[in-house]
Amino acid sequence: MEYNITLLKGDGIGPEIVESAAAVLEKTGEKFGHKFNFTNCLIGGCAIDETGIPLPPETVETCLASDSVLLGAVGGPKWDDQPGDNRPEKALLGIRSAMGLYTNLRPAKLYPALRSASPLKDSIVGRGFDIMIVRELTGGIYFGDRGYRQGKFGREAFDTEAYSVTEIERIGKIAFDTAMKRSMKVCSVDKANVLESSRLWRSTMHRLAENYPQVEYRDMFVDNAAMQLVRDPGQFDVIVTSNMFGDILSDEASQITGSIGMLASASLGEGSRGLYEPIHGSAPDIAGTGKANPIAAVLSGAMMLRLSFGLGDEAESIEQAVDKVLNDGFRTADIMSENCKALNCMEMTERILDNI
């Protein structure tokens, strides 16, 4: 099979980690008889430097014409003086909207070899955890009406949280379908004791749950969910929630795994094409030093193979290669622990390639 993949390397460590992920995809293709054609496009700060805007039309056109997209990271202090509507991060919302991506899948998995890196006690994480956070991506307070007005205390700012039944149903269905392929558990997170939008969210999710009698379903308020993630993360399988709550909870979940440099993500819409990216930032302070951890980008490539291309065996071969390298005691700086061997970004990539 032949697939066309757009590479959006972006800023900071983005080029290094995307090149690593592309090398792993290429090696996997050679092993399984697939050909991956890569096209590089500009996004973020580097696009501002070249074109004056963070998301050039050519980038959008190429992404829409590809089979899937692999993104590195965008942003950095170099572009802090840009106006709000022209900052590098604006490109992320733009490309997600252009591609019609309303679902963000963020796995938070504690690798046994990295158990000591988790900030949680061994008595909490000793049995490990494997959570999938399903975050609604194109609605809610991040996309609602906003502005300034005169309030009772003078000038005030406002942001509006709004969700339709359609938006809740489509993200809820993704969550239940995902749970059917995992451990058959869904936890829907909201703030229905305060927010009207959450009350609609909860009633809609309850109705959806009736269509999935095999799945164990429960509701949880977001403040309790934040607490439960650090008290007993192993209780969760699939968490489904709104845009803002998902943004916060997925970052919390990533931290309890031990390193944000290990975690991939997928943004999906109606078709098979998706946008895949590590959840960490551009880390401009270590760009070009070799200290970047390529594993999250590599695992994002594995998610692409599985979710967009239906290549489960190929994805598993990458995941097993990462497991083998970690179990053999090789580490990048962010996950380094006693008695392990430190590797730079390229050396870690080469180790993974050797195990494909």
Catalytic residue among 78, 173, 251, 323: 251
CB-CB contact of 47 with 57 (8 Å): no
Residue 142 falls in the annotated catalytic set: yes
CB-CB contact of 330 with 111 (8 Å): no
Catalytic residue among 78, 109, 130, 142: 142
Catalytic residue among 247, 276, 291, 334: 247
Residue 232 falls in the annotated catalytic set: no
Catalytic residue among 3, 191, 219, 237: 191
Residue 324 falls in the annotated catalytic set: no
d(CA 108, CA 345): 22
Contacts of the segment 58-65: beta carbons below 8 A, 24+ positions apart = 59/6, 59/8, 59/95, 60/94, 60/95, 60/98, 62/6, 63/6, 63/8, 63/95, 63/98, 63/99, 63/275, 64/98, 64/99, 65/4
Residue 191 falls in the annotated catalytic set: yes
Look at the block and give the residue holding tokens 């692409």. Answer: 304
- Of the candidates 300, 244, 269, 344, the one whose C-alpha atom is nearest the C-alpha of residue 73 is 300
- Of the candidates 254, 257, 256, 223, the one whose C-alpha atom is nearest the C-alpha of residue 241 is 223
Catalytic residue among 223, 232, 285, 313: 223
Residue 247 falls in the annotated catalytic set: yes
- Catalytic residues, by residue number, are 142, 191, 223, 247, 251
